[in-house]
Amino acid sequence: MLAAAGDPPQHPDGWAFEFKWDGVRAMVATGAGGVRTRGRSAPDITASYPELRALAGRRRMLLDGEIVALGPGGRPSFALLQRRMHVERPTAGLLAEAPVHYVVFDLLHLDDAALLTEPYLRRRALLAELELPTGVLAPPHFTDVTGPDMLAAARAEDMEGTVAKRLDSTYRPGVRSHAWIKTALRHTQEVVIAGWTPGTGRRAATFGALVLGAHRDGLLRHIGQVGTGFADRELGQLLTTLRGLEVAQCPLDGVPREVARTARWVTPRLAGEVEYRQWTAEGRLRAPSWRGLRPELQPGQVHAPPAP
């Protein structure tokens, strides 16, 4: 189930509020077969996050939550999580340097009972009764605060934002519902990498910017370029990967002539994420900054909002 973007409810009546965690959405199933973890596009990412095996040997459950890496002060660090997101079988050294936690916010199945049609409050009550191992967290939800106050608390705690959920909402898999409303303090957008432009100066050996696309009105449309936010080691790694995907044909609709003149195109197979200031009147990202690849997403899942 996915949340619709919007302003938080002004009054708490009928709503619960949670913090929005900056990580990777994941479902975790436990039972006789051990532990299995899946990302949003349903790949098996169990081996990538062995910390979640701590849930083995417990009750038969299906959990919904966010995989996060905690940085200074115990705050989620997407940059630290990036070190784990592309690694199928992390080494002991990497596990020690960038450990992850699983933040659980919903319980969809428990023992022999399916809970999808149970109201949110009932699912949360059952979740609170579970004995969870170290590294698996079930943060509290709040029913006695207003949306603006919860958003102010999220800002003070340096969280990504808030999610408001109707107390009586059932769980609707695959549906983006206004029964859940997410409010982000930092604007982020999933993107498809469609090409790159040559670098200059100290970036002459790598690339200057990635050319970005997202699906809008049934087409993969150009939504801008991003040239900042990259770690130095990312530049070479990304360029090597992109050169292996080169194609002659531009895969995007609506690329400006000045971009197309120097761009090198690739098969739009890689998804990523950027932070940005706002959308322009042309439907492009203003002042985007790279956050990292999103290997758990398929390019077909990447959509942009309608052009202003």
Beta strands in the chain (DSSP E): 2-5, 15-20, 24-31, 34-39, 61-68, 101-110, 113-114, 136-137, 161-166, 176-184, 188-198, 207-216, 219-226, 246-247, 264-275, 278-279, 285-286, 289-293
pTM: 0.74
Question: Is residue 199 within 8 Å of residue 242, measured between CB atoms?
Answer: no
What does the pLDDT read at residue 40?
Answer: 83
- Helix, strand or coil for residue 85? helix
d(CA 124, CA 145): 17
Q: Nearest CA to 98 among 69, 65, 66, 137?
A: 69
188-198 as b/e, with b when 16 or more CB fall inside 10 Å? bbbbbbbbbbe
d(CA 307, CA 215): 11
Backbone φ and ψ of 151, nearest 5°: -65, -35
pLDDT in tens, 78-135: 888 988 987 889 999 999 999 999 999 999 999 999 999 999 999 999 999 999 999 9
Question: Is residue 303 within 8 Å of residue 230, measured between CB atoms?
Answer: no
- List of domains in the chain: 2-183 (3.30.470.30), 188-301 (2.40.50.140)
Q: Above 80 in pLDDT, residue 308?
A: no
pLDDT in tens, 25-84: 999 999 988 999 999 876 899 999 999 999 998 899 999 999 999 988 888 988 889 889
Question: Is residue 16 within 8 Å of residue 141, measured between CB atoms?
Answer: yes
d(CA 291, CA 275): 7
Catalytic residue among 20, 123, 124, 182: 20
- What's the chain's average pLDDT? 93
What does the pLDDT read at residue 158?
Answer: 85
Residue 20 bears catalytic tag? yes
What does the pLDDT read at residue 42?
Answer: 67
Q: Nearest CA to 219 among 264, 252, 265, 259?
A: 252
Q: Nearest CA to 246 among 211, 289, 298?
A: 211
pLDDT confidence band for 299 (50 / 70 / 90): very high
Q: Above 70 in pLDDT, residue 267?
A: yes
What does the pLDDT read at residue 32?
Answer: 84
Q: Above 80 in pLDDT, residue 199?
A: yes
Q: Above 80 in pLDDT, residue 275?
A: yes
Q: Above 90 in pLDDT, residue 138?
A: yes
**What is the β-pairing status of strands 24-31 and 176-184?**
unpaired
Single-letter code of the amino acid located at 25: R
307 or 45: which leads in pLDDT: 45
